[in-house]
């Protein structure tokens, strides 16, 4: 049990730093190539900060632990909206932009409702997966268009001396650490679930979801 707990802790630490390095390097590269800050936040940072959930879910699915995958997705969303947003609001209540309510919030509601609807038949098939991926692509495209409408580019502020090679190396290192951390985290979680006699779904909804959700953003 101690070894499994150690794997879980080690995996969590590796997931945190892997995601940090991946996002920092990717955002730095995007900035170096002249991508606008708002667009970086809407794409690189938003997807990059979900990298721990993605790594753990993919590895769990590959190992046949699909209950951990679904539990991680559902539990992470609950943790993001309840735990993380709640704690953030306690520290510094965020101001809500009107465009968020008009555009992003309806998409959030639609995505939240879509998952249980797609699972009504008892499984998430490839057609369902394709629809979800198309939805994510469409939302990302919409974010890009909205950002172009709402913010002027500040490419001129980018330092000319930005080093691209170290940033690329940081992305590669972050990705490698992320994959290794995901493997350790899944192994530890599955083993603990079996030893405690609880379902993998319960572990995914709790330990795995909390372990992959709380992180600090690399970009302020």
The model carries a pTM of: 0.66
The domain locations on the chain are: 2-212
Per-residue model confidence (pLDDT) at position 151 = 55
Output the six-digit token pair for 97: 């932009």
Residue pLDDT, tens place only, 101-129: 787 788 888 888 888 898 888 888 888 88
- What would the 3-class secondary structure string for 165-200 be? HHHHHHHHHHHHHHHHHHHHHHHHHHHHHHHHCCCH
Please state the rounded mean pLDDT for residues 166-178.
86
């Amino acid at each position: 049990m101690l070894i499994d707990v150690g794997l879980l802790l080690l995996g969590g630490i590796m997931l945190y730093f892997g995601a940090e390095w991946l996002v920092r390097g990717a955002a730095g590269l995007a900035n170096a190539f002249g991508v606008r800050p708002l667009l970086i936040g809407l794409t690189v940072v938003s997807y990059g900060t979900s990298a721990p959930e993605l790594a753990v879910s993919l590895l769990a699915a590959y190992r046949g632990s699909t209950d951990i995958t679904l539990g991680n997705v559902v539990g992470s969303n609950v943790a993001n909206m309840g735990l993380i947003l709640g704690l953030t609001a306690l520290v510094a209540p965020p101001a809500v932009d009107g465009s968020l309510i008009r555009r992003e919030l309806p998409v959030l509601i639609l995505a939240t409702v879509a998952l249980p609807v797609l699972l009504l038949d008892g499984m998430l098939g490839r057609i369902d997966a394709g629809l979800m991926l198309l939805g994510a692509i469409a939302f990302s495209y919409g974010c890009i268009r909205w950002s172009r409408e709402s913010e002027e580019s500040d490419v001129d502020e980018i330092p000319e001396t930005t080093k691209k090679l170290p940033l690329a190396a940081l992305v590669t290192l972050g990705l490698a650490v992320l994959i290794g951390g995901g493997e350790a985290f899944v192994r530890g979680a599955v083993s603990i679930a079996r030893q405690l006699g609880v379902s993998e779904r319960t572990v995914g909804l709790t330990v795995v979801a909390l372990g992959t959700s709380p992180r600090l953003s690399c970009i302020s």
